[in-house]
Structure 1
Amino acid sequence: MIELQLVNNEFPKLSICIATYNRGRFIGETLDSILGQMEPGVELVVVDGASPDSTPEVMVQYMARYPEIRYYREQENSGIDRDYDKAVGYARGEYCWLMTDDDLMHSGAIFRVLESLNDNHELVVVNSEVRNVDFSTVLEEGFLKFTDDRVYSSVAGEKFFSEVANYLSFIGGVVIKRSLWQERDRSSYYGTLFIHVGVIFQQPPIVRAKVIAEPLIMIRYGNAMWTPRGFEIWMFKWPELIWSFTDFSNEAKISVCPREPWRRGRLLFFYRAIGGYTITEYRRLLAAGANGMSRAVFFGIAVFPATIANFIAGLYCVFVNRKARTALDSISRSQHASWMSRILAKFL
């Protein structure tokens, strides 16, 4: 690990922590959205997991202009969970905002978060709006459909878990007390891709949490590094993590995600439509767990013509579920999208 720049020895209130890998094309725009609104008592920590692209060159240019940046380039890539854990370890702030490396902060976001930290919450969750890859279209005005800020007296409660856990699949909305993070088990969640969720929902419960209803982040939807692995992640890894929390009822966990979403034919068909589910995924992930008619259905979807599935899924989003704008965006950007699917996306 090489630390390329340090700032003064003061301990800031807030460390904005970014773990990045191969985002040289995007991280500059993210940094611009942050650095233009920096406040006293805020630092920016970037951990680069040995990116082989232009990330180091981009970071050197920014460090020459902004002393608030502390950039750590690792000698090898150790995965997103470990890199965020390292970022919190390198940070010096009382709180850490686990920001993403390709999304954008709205103007005034840092000030708004600092205001919330004055209330001594252990966890602050920041709402986001969802946009397409070039930010030209708003797909969801707010991921969390909250109109007012909410304060929870215990994260262990069913209410917080049911209302917020699904959103927490997005790490960029998490602002957490650094001391709390460090005193909790993190290594058990290396490799889950959601280390922050494991930290938040393990015992003992976080006592005081707040959700900021106003969307302060713009998510660049469809640009995640794990998009090619989306089927495995959302059908297996995410449900396994959510259902591993034994302190919540089955009803609460179902409100976040089904235990085995891959058994739902409609979801399989959607992933077939965007190219995420093929005969390879069927053989590697589903064949052993299915039997009888289910196996036949799962196999049939895996070999169904992807271009036709893409068009059918697009029709569904336009004429049956017009609120499924993010799904339609995925359908229209798929390698299997025809000109008809793209026209449907523009129509909605």
Structure 2
Amino acid sequence: MLSDTKKLLSICIPAYNDRIGLRDLFESLADELADPVISKRVEIIVRDDASPDGSLETIMAGYLEKFSNVRFVRNDVNLGFDKNVLAVVSDAVGQYCWLMSDNDAIFPGSLVEIVRILEENQDVGHVYLQAVTFDKDLKKLQSKIKKDVGSIRFDSSEEFITVINLPGFISSQIVRKDLWDSIEKEKYIGNYWIHLSTILEFLPRTFGLYVTWPVIKARNKNAWAKDGKNMYVFLSLHTIINNLGEFGYSGECIKHFNRGFIRDLLEVAAYARIKGLRASFSLIGELVRKFYSHPFRLMAVLLVLITPRVILRHLGKIKTKLL
């Protein structure tokens, strides 16, 4: 058992300029935070990455007054997402850190269940939580709820990431802090996936749990879509996967995910182009380097990147009607 001064779980929230999202998150946590058992075992840290209007401080004031286990830190300057994630986890004192976006929420009763799971599995290295997608107001369900088969243990890191299809969604991540701290993470700053990169590096040294009942209400608010930035996020993920061999992942595991990249490439490119992606020489060069062994798919992607956005939007509407 942990000592009274040591928290079991730190909920780490890298926040920026989303007061409504942060309020909704805390409202989903409030009832359980009032439980004296939970307040003894759980802390929440919010790191505001120098939001320009200062509104997060206003939102947090009431929660700081009400809950003694809530902390709020405001960065003097904007660090960017990756460095803010590192900073908020470094603030944590819990044995485990739950990485939580500032615009998602949790289902009622979830926090109590997560504490129970961690109490029963205090050697687990990584817990991945089931997320369900809602609209931008967290009112309308937009994805299917998968069958609840409890929590599943995976001793093989390859089987774990294959079943989950890569543990990338940040609010679904609970990591054991000593494993997180053991990784030199600065090399991942700027790759859009600092949390996933770190987890994939330490995962072969531990076992994982997959919680299959709905825990996270994920807000469908794709911040990466602006100006087609999701294409660069996609390509960065491709790089991460193809470097997994140095951490002991097999060639077959890497090939499995590469087949998925090839399958999704055209759709990702079309969506990015609709959102404003421009076909720069550097982007074309990166696509050629990564996908030259699939010439027909590559040619289709390059064609999409020079197609007027209005035509792609029209084709997308036709596809939606046909489906």
Match for 1:313 among 293, 309, 316? 316
**Number of matched residues?**
303
Q: Contact conserved, 1:282 with 1:299, CA < 8 A, in 2? A: no
Q: How far apart are residue 303 of structure 1 and its match?
A: 3.5
Measure the CA separation in 1 of the matches of 2:223 and 2:210: 26
Equivalent residue for 1:4?
A: none
Q: How far apart are residue 63 of structure 1 and its match?
A: 1.5
Measure the CA separation in 1 of the matches of 2:67 and 2:176: 25
Q: Contact conserved, 2:110 with 2:215, CA < 8 A, in 1? A: yes
Paired residues for 1:1-348 under 5 Å:
10-38=5-33, 39-40=38-39, 41-53=41-53, 54-118=55-119, 119-120=121-122, 121-142=124-145, 147-155=149-157, 158-166=158-166, 168-203=167-202, 205-221=204-220, 223-228=221-226, 229-234=229-234, 236-246=235-245, 247-258=248-259, 261=262, 264-272=265-273, 274-277=274-277, 280-286=278-284, 289-290=287-288, 297-320=300-323
Query: In the alignment, residue 31 of structure 2 is paired with which amino acid?
Result: G
Which structure shows the bigger proportion of residues in helix conformation? 2
What is the TM-score with the length of structure 2 in the denominator? Answer: 0.83
Worse overlay, 16-25 or 55-64: 55-64
Measure the CA separation in 1 of the matches of 2:296 and 2:160: 38
Question: Using a 3 Å threshold, how does the CA distance of structure 1 residues 140 and 193 change in structure 2: closer, same or farther?
Answer: same
Coordinate RMSD, CA, aligned:
2.7
Three-state SS of the structure 2 residue aligned to 1:139 is coil
Q: Contact conserved, 2:231 with 2:268, CA < 8 A, in 1? A: no
Measure the CA separation in 1 of the matches of 2:263 and 2:80: 25
Measure the CA separation in 2 of the matches of 1:26 and 1:288: 35
Q: Which runs of 5+ in 1 are unaligned?
A: 1-8, 321-348
Q: How far apart are residue 196 of structure 1 and its match?
A: 1.9
Question: Using a 3 Å threshold, how does the CA distance of structure 1 residues 245 and 116 change in structure 2: closer, same or farther?
Answer: same
What is the TM-score with the length of structure 1 in the denominator? Answer: 0.78
Residue deviations 1:103-155 (CA, integer Å, cap 9, x gap): 0111111111111112222211111001121223222134x776442101242
Q: Which runs of 5+ in 2 are unaligned?
A: none
Measure the CA separation in 2 of the matches of 1:266 and 1:96: 34
Equivalent residue for 1:3?
A: none
Measure the CA separation in 1 of the matches of 2:178 and 2:286: 43
Q: How far apart are residue 295 of structure 1 and its match?
A: 7.6
Residue deviations 1:144-192 (CA, integer Å, cap 9, x gap): 776442101242xx211212252x2211111111122112222221222
Three-state SS of the structure 2 residue aligned to 1:226 is helix
Residue deviations 1:262-294 (CA, integer Å, cap 9, x gap): 99444423433x3243xx234441156549987
Q: Contact conserved, 1:171 with 1:194, CA < 8 A, in 2? A: no
